[in-house]
Amino acid sequence: MSTIEAVVFDLDGVLVDSDHIWHEVREGLAYERGGRWTERSEPDMSGMSSLEWSRYLHEVVGLPESPQELNREVVRRMRARYAEDMPLIDGAVEAVRRLAGSFRLALASSSNRELIEMVLTQASLTRCFDALVSSEEVARGKPSPDVFLDAARRLDVPPQSCAAVEDSTNGIRAAHAAEMRVIAIPNDRYPPPADVIRLADVTLDSIADLTPDVVAG
């Protein structure tokens, strides 16, 4: 097994409790604009890049605005929610700072870069990370491994020498496909199925349990 040199964090559901906010914002927009929202809409968009989910809102949910306009409006509403109340997960800031002393850190997220930067700035964590990657900057969103592979490339560390911290079904699949050590902290609101959890090398109940020893294995 490779020695772990770096840790790649997801954002939504790992550092911020935001998956339900994304759901509320996109569903609310769909109902406002007369879209066809179904029980599959949010699961389908889980892990998608902004390019992918904005196209989904236009083509599948049927919203009349262009994908670019939908992307801008959703991000505007997300920024407003974050400005009102940044939903940092208990123990997340401390976990990042704890690992920053032992490993190089990157963040690989399906969020738009401006939202990533907003969260890290408000949490005073920007300096802890050597690389930030939004899936809008790669060809495919999760469950494809692109965002994780690009994070490893920017760190100049082999993917096999990285650990990924993930909470979601598509995030765990993406990290596993990137051949990283997968540390799963299952999302309580949207728990991954058992077969996906089995892809993880270790499963934690809380990010408060994430230590350098857990990462190193």
Residues serving a catalytic function are 10, 12
Eight-class DSSP state of 75: H
Amino acid letter, residue 165: V
Q: Which runs of consecutive H residues, i.e. helices, occur in the chain?
A: 19-32, 41-45, 50-59, 67-84, 92-100, 113-122, 146-155, 169-177, 194-197, 212-216
Nearest C-alpha neighbor of 12 from the set 102, 141, 100, 138? 141
Name the burial class of residue 81, with classes exposed (0-12), middle (13-18) and buried (19+) by CB atoms within 10 angstroms of its CB: middle
Taking the CA atoms of residue 32, residue 33, residue 37 and residue 43 in that order, the dihedral angle to the nearest 10 degrees is -90
Q: Are 134 and 116 in contact (CB under 8 A)?
A: yes
Q: Find the Cα–Cα–Cα–Cα dihedral 108, 109, 112, 115, rounded to 10°.
A: -90
Contact 180, 163 (CB under 8 A): yes
Q: Report the distance separating Cα 82 and Cα 120, nearest Å.
A: 12
